[in-house]
Amino acid sequence: LTPAPNPFLVVDFYNQNRACLLQEKGLPAPGPYSTPLRTPLWNGSNHSIETQSSSSEEIVPSPPSPPPLPRIYKPCFVCQDKSSGYHYGVSACEGCKGFFRRSIQKNMVYTCHRDKNCIINKVTRNRCQYCRLQKCFEVGMSKESVRNDRNKKKKEAPKPECSESYTLTPEVGELIEKVRKAHQETFPALCQLGKYTTNNSSEQRVSLDIDLWDKFSELSTKCIIKTVEFAKQLPGFTTLTIADQITLLKAACLDILILRICTRYTPEQDTMTFSDGLTLNRTQMHNAGFGPLTDLVFAFANQLLPL
């Protein structure tokens, strides 16, 4: 079998729709050798988003910089456990940091039941709070640092949300209505679609993946055409030059496609529904062309649910 092409297939919607754009300006339609506009692609080899154009220039991605080395601190000065950083003036673990902060903020008074000289380490630190607090002072922990930290948090307390209502001006309301209408006319709601799924039995999985690719290619072409129609209905878009219109479409088309498909996410089944009703689960979306972007798209769709 021929391996499937790279995800986010190239769709030549410039040639398909440029004639419509040019007609808005009263210009002749493009010839057969017009420069195509292509959508961003996912390049699986270097995991980067690229935009293909007619330019002969190639952007060579720089090699990824190595991750920074984790910072290593001295062991906790109080109990010799692993330190999480410098707290209240000394290298300390999370346990001793929290113990010292609570002791100072609550003005705790502890009692030692021995000779006030208990050994404090990560095994015995919870046996005698008196000697543990004294050890904190001996190694240099500062009361003032705790108080300053507490005051700082008070100052950084979030302000209550503004309860003032905002009244839309007639001009803004009219603009919003035009955008809403353009969206509805070029993007049917989920409730208007007749959902259907594909059989994904294991013996047919390879052939179905290829069928999904073909179907995804067809749907992507239709979605891009609808995106162009949506843009042409936005106030002011057709007053731009053809070059500016093309630039905006190239830059925003993929984002609009992903945003639109995410609004058709069904969390109960963890599925996405396309414009013709085709409903795919996460695995099918991956095989249909989203590839490594699949989990990111589903995560973004989940974030949109409360809106």
| pLDDT at residue number 119 | 92
Q: Confidence band (pLDDT; 50, 70, 90) for 161?
A: low
pLDDT in tens, 283-298: 888 887 788 888 899 9
pLDDT in tens, 261-276: 888 888 888 888 887 7
* Mean of all residue pLDDT scores within the chain: 74
Q: Confidence band (pLDDT; 50, 70, 90) for 3?
A: very low
Phi, psi of 278 (to 5 degrees): -60, 125
| pLDDT at residue number 71 | 66
List the chain domain ranges. 13-55+172-304, 85-139
CA distance 4 to 262: 24
pLDDT over 80 at 42, yes or no: no
Q: Does domain 13-55+172-304 have CATH number 3.40.50.720?
A: no
| Residue 216 burial (10 A CB sphere; 0-12, 13-18, 19+) | buried
Q: What is the mean pLDDT of residues 102-129?
A: 90
| pLDDT at residue number 60 | 52
Q: What is the mean pLDDT of residues 212-237?
A: 86
CATH code of domain 85-139: 3.30.50.10
Q: Confidence band (pLDDT; 50, 70, 90) for 153?
A: low
Task: Determine what percent of the chain is predicted with pLDDT higher than 90.
Answer: 21
| pLDDT at residue number 156 | 59
pLDDT in tens, 195-208: 555 554 444 443 45
Closest CA to 304 of 197, 190, 219, 228: 190
More confidently predicted of 243 and 208: 243
